[in-house]
Amino acid sequence: MKKSVVAISDENAEVSTELISILHDAGIAVRLNVSARDQKSANNDPATVVAVVYEVPLACSSESLRQVIHSARSQWPAVPLIACINAAHRWNTLGQIVARSEFNAIADSAAQLPALLREVEERSESGDSPRPFKHLLEQTVFALPASLRKQQLRGAFTLVATLHGAMCEDEAASFAVNGLGRLISADRWAIYLARENRADTATLGPVIAREFSRGHSLSFDYEWQHELLDSVVAVEAVAGRTAEEAVTRMTPVKRSEKGNKIVAVPIISGDRAIGVLEGLRSGPDSRPFSRAELALLNTVAPAIAMALSNSVRIAEAERLSSTDELTRLHNARYLRQFLVNEVKRARRYHTRVAALFLDLDDFKRVNDLHGHLVGSHCLMEVAALLLPSVRDTDCVVRYGGDEFVVILPEAGAEEAVAVAQRTRAKIEAHRFTGGRRLRISLTASIGVAVFPENALSPHQLVSSADQAMYAAKAANKNCIRLAATSDGGQSGDELRDPTQDGKQFQRIPDERFIS
């Protein structure tokens, strides 16, 4: 099924033709401003909606952003929401407002959208989508209530110290719930995170909930250390009115609800509530949470908020370290790990891995004639052309400068050459705008290598494809060359033209590689 996005803008503005054209060239259908009444028919369309894209106008207020987000979430609750900003937005106040808003991702220009859409889709499929805690935490003073007993004091410090070791959001939430279960007696502790947070309502989704027996230990002993290493047996939980009120009012709330005693304390990051801690004591005869227990919860809540926010930032930093900032494709760092894993898999299951090394021909002329900003925009357009040319399981990498690498798992020479031909033809036929409505023609030289025929290690695979690319350059450019076999089966280790069987045009020296 063909993928599509819903493109929306301000009431008084239309979605730009540049955005529509870029997505169209990437093989993504665009629906413009689908209204709520059209949603039912839109869902029956054969195209699959992968995201809602909001093109942020030059003049936009935080209030209008909230209205747009609310409207989009109401019509497409399960679809990622992406903001597309102008380059000028990045350094002004509006850019900061957009960054703090509840968008799943932000594109710095329309040319980044195809790569960003694929990235968002991959994270959605893996359940790895980061929650939008985007601005820095304010300094929080950790001050415990004076009325704490020695055991509670030790427990509070142990919980806070343990939270510092959390490496991901789920781990931070698990540590927090386990610790709360030993710090304050309750039948269930749960953590919910806010999916939306406006002045009048909050949509809360459970991260973790765990039930505790009435005789559960309240000490942070040796058993507690083992408990942290074991997987938590989570239970289903739905946030009630108490939790929602705590997030909306950004203040602790305790009350009886359906015969249960409930306490809810908001998890606050910066100037907004990102979630809520909820404790429940079941049954009409259960005792309510005391003021001392509420004060203790208020004290540890900032530490839990910090652990959750920091874990999300760590995950985001790791993602950014493997992503090219300009094109939003993967970078060389990601390529190394991906290729090592794929070659290991190919060795184990006796399959193949193909590598395409693509270099734009005479790209320096674009920078010299039109400037580096136009050149950068052209690279983003190239990325948008590459992605629809490959499968979702393939890896597209900006290797550096105007060089790109495509890894095709479980693909032989024939399939790799077909992808290379399709990609080369697309680039040759496309007219690049450079973000300035120009009509720039580009071509590409592509080298193809396949494991294990042309290489015996990940390093050698990329190197062989690179050498094949240089052979394509030597053959008047805008063509494809296939690397020679690694075992010397071809006479003289010659590179060959896959479109002309038997034609030999360049020799490469014998090389030894270590994997």
DSSP secondary structure of 115-146: HHHHHHHHHHHHT-PPP---SPPPP------T
* Residue in the structure block whose two tokens are 């747009």: 68
Name, in order, each residue with C-beta under 8 angstroms of 385's C-beta and a sequence gap of 6 or more: 25, 26, 423, 426, 427, 430
Look at the alpha carbons of 98, 99, 103, 105 in this order and tell me if their dihedral is positive or negative: positive
Q: What is the pLDDT of residue 417?
A: 95
CA 84 to chain centre: 16
Pick the CATH number of 150-317 from 3.30.450.40, 3.20.190.10, 3.20.20.80, 3.30.70.120: 3.30.450.40
Distances (CA, A) of 34 to 7, 11, 31, 39: 8, 12, 7, 7
pLDDT of the chain, 515 residues: tens digit per residue: 678 899 998 777 788 888 999 998 888 999 886 543 444 444 445 457 889 999 988 777 777 888 888 888 888 888 889 988 876 555 455 666 677 677 888 888 888 898 888 887 777 665 554 444 333 333 344 555 666 677 777 777 788 888 887 777 888 888 888 888 888 889 999 998 886 544 445 578 888 888 887 766 666 665 666 565 555 555 677 888 888 888 888 888 888 888 889 999 988 876 677 888 999 999 888 889 988 888 888 888 888 888 888 877 777 777 778 889 899 999 999 999 999 999 999 999 999 999 999 999 999 999 999 999 999 999 999 999 999 989 989 999 999 999 999 999 999 999 999 999 999 999 999 999 998 889 999 999 999 999 999 999 999 999 999 999 999 999 999 999 999 875 544 433 345 566 554 433 333 333 333 33
Q: What is the pLDDT of residue 219?
A: 66
Delimit the domains of the chain by residue range: 4-126, 150-317, 332-482
Distances (CA, A) of 164 to 160, 173, 184, 276, 306: 7, 12, 20, 19, 9
Distance CA 499, CA 331 (A): 30
Distance CA 41, CA 38 (A): 6
Q: What is the pLDDT of residue 513?
A: 33
Q: What is the pLDDT of residue 44?
A: 46
**Structure token pair of residue 394:** 């393939």
Helix residue spans in 150-290 (DSSP H): 150-163, 169-183, 222-229, 241-249
Distance CA 483, CA 364 (A): 26
Q: Which of 382, 508, 371 is nearest to 449 (CA)?
A: 508
CATH 3.40.50.1000 is held by the domain 4-126: no
Q: What is the pLDDT of residue 39?
A: 46
Terminal Cα distance for the chain, rounded: 39
Distance CA 123, CA 132 (A): 14
Residue type, 37: R
Look at the alpha carbons of 69, 72, 77, 79 in this order and tell me if their dihedral is positive or negative: negative
Helix residue spans in 251-401 (DSSP H): 291-321, 332-349, 364-370, 372-386
> How would CATH label the architecture of 332-482?
2-Layer Sandwich (3.30)
Is there a contact between 447 and 357 (Cβ–Cβ < 8 Å)? yes
Exposure of 504 by Cβ count < 10 A (0-12 exposed, 13-18 middle, 19+ buried)? middle
Residue type, 87: A
Name, in order, each residue with C-beta under 8 angstroms of 375's C-beta and a sequence gap of 6 or more: 363, 366, 367, 434
Helix residue spans in 230-287 (DSSP H): 241-249
Name, in order, each residue with C-beta under 8 angstroms of 23's C-beta and a sequence gap of 6 or more: 5, 7, 29, 30, 110, 113, 114
Q: What is the pLDDT of residue 504?
A: 35
Residue type, 38: D
Task: Give the SS3 label for residue 341.
Answer: helix
DSSP secondary structure of 419-435: HHHHHHHHHHH-EE-TT
Is there a contact between 175 and 166 (Cβ–Cβ < 8 Å)? yes
DSSP element (H, E) containing 275? strand 272-281
